[in-house]
Structure 1
Amino acid sequence: MAFFVTLRSTALGLSLLAMAGCSAISSIQTASKPLDTFELSPLPAGTVSARQSRRYLEVAMPSATGAFASDRIVVKPTPLKIESLPDARWINDATEHVQLLLVRSLANSGRFALVTAAGSGPSPDYVLMTDLRAFQAEVGPESVTIVIRSTMSLLSDSDGRVVSSRSFDSSATAPDTSREMVVAAFDAAMTAHLTEVLDWIAKTPLR
């Protein structure tokens, strides 16, 4: 009888080890699965009419909460809960991605002789500071709404004077919850956001 008890215990132990091994392999396979990568579009030249200047502009890295200091696409099922869009990521951390979109869109506008990211060009005449307050998909009972909010300040680099400051709030609705539709709605909201930013910059007097 003791033999059979021992045999059953051994078989159970091997079974548990096998299950644990399968679980570990499954976890490794899931961890190694590449995430689909998405990139938003900067504004092309001619989107906003702007008077050209010979000034240099530096776009600082946006400040934001930790949720946006990551390449994951933020989803908020409730106002206080933060999740990520499954199996998807931005091409850069969200803050860096927004910075590069601003750099490329402002460069395409022709408003400045040179537009660079912070620390990558000569001493600028102006610096654009951004506080990224929202960059997320908000899940409602029947739809998904993309929300992008920011406050931007244009500073004179020579004396730190605030030339102009303004808040922006853009949104777009995704027709369904698929990753492609959510990202397409992000692109629409970002296009509206960038258009407002460029229009504000174009109308701001520069010395």
Structure 2
Amino acid sequence: MTLCASLRSILAATGLLALSGCAAITAVSDAATPLDVYELRAPASIAASGGRVLARDVIVEIPTTSGALATDRIMIRPNALQAQYLPDVRWSEPTPVMVQTLMLRSIEATGAVRYVGRKPLGVSGDFALVTEVIDFQADVVPETDTANVQITFLVRIVRERDASIVASRSFRANAVAATTETDVIIDAFSAASDQVFVEFAQWVRDAL
């Protein structure tokens, strides 16, 4: 039984009106209920540069995002104007911090730069990555129990010595979840994440 179907059954049993689509997904969970934790990893398929290591220190700043995504809850949208969260589950870190971690680990995997971290080793690094997370959610397909996972973020590479933008790019990936069951949605997040961070790591390596 899918997540939406299960929630409809519960609502029907308690005499509440079940809304169409996935509107039954709860936006707030009971704070006393332990939440299952999910973690995304940097793609194993990122290719190491295999060449000379660039004498660059790269700082990955924590991304900015909307208030709805500035949480460790896993967002799912029943429609374009409504933000809700999967019940009883969360990410291992708030979404902006998790994206920062994925960016950092992806750059590390290339082996292309001397240092990459959240903070500089000295007073400042050579370059900073300034990021805005625009999408990091599952969008329910109307009148179905399927969803499209969307990941979109904008990255700017800023040279620290003069605060100039040396490169910028938007990254976008999506993956289809065949049902709205939690595990299926998480698998779709993982697939979209792998796609977008392979592209991201290649771009950073080439842009520096």
Q: Determine which structure has the larger helix proportion and give its number.
A: 1
The code of the aligned residue for 2:94 comes to D
- Residue by residue over 1:162-204, the C-alpha shift from the partner in whole angstroms, topping out at 9 and shown as x without a partner, is 1100111110011211111111110110111101111211221
- Residue by residue over 1:95-143, the C-alpha shift from the partner in whole angstroms, topping out at 9 and shown as x without a partner, is 00100111111111112111101x3643211101111011000000332
- Residue by residue over 1:25-78, the C-alpha shift from the partner in whole angstroms, topping out at 9 and shown as x without a partner, is xxxxx432200000001123x623535312110001101001111000011100
> Is the CA contact 1:60–1:130 (under 8 Å) kept in the aligned structure 2?
yes
Q: Distance in 2 between matches of 1:49 and 1:37?
A: 30
Q: CA RMSD in A?
A: 1.4
Q: Distance in 1 between matches of 2:68 and 2:113?
A: 32
Aligned residues: 174
Q: TM-score, normalised by structure 2?
A: 0.79
Q: Distance in 2 between matches of 1:151 and 1:169?
A: 9
- Residue by residue over 1:137-165, the C-alpha shift from the partner in whole angstroms, topping out at 9 and shown as x without a partner, is 00003321000111101111111111100
Quote the residue 1:33 is aligned against: 33
Secondary structure of 2:59's counterpart equals strand
- Where structure 2 has 5 or more consecutive residues not aligned to the other structure, the ranges are 1-29
Q: TM-score, normalised by structure 1?
A: 0.80
Quote the residue 1:198 is aligned against: 201
- 161, 164, 175: which is aligned to 2:164? 161
Secondary structure of 2:104's counterpart equals helix
Correspondence 1:99 to 2:69? no
The code of the aligned residue for 2:46 comes to T
> Is the CA contact 1:49–1:202 (under 8 Å) kept in the aligned structure 2?
no
The code of the aligned residue for 1:48 comes to A
> Is the CA contact 2:65–2:133 (under 8 Å) kept in the aligned structure 1?
yes
> Is the CA contact 1:62–1:98 (under 8 Å) kept in the aligned structure 2?
yes
Quote the residue 2:187 is aligned against: 184
Greater Cα radius of gyration, structure 1 or 2: 1
- Percent identity of paired positions between Structure 1 and Structure 2: 32
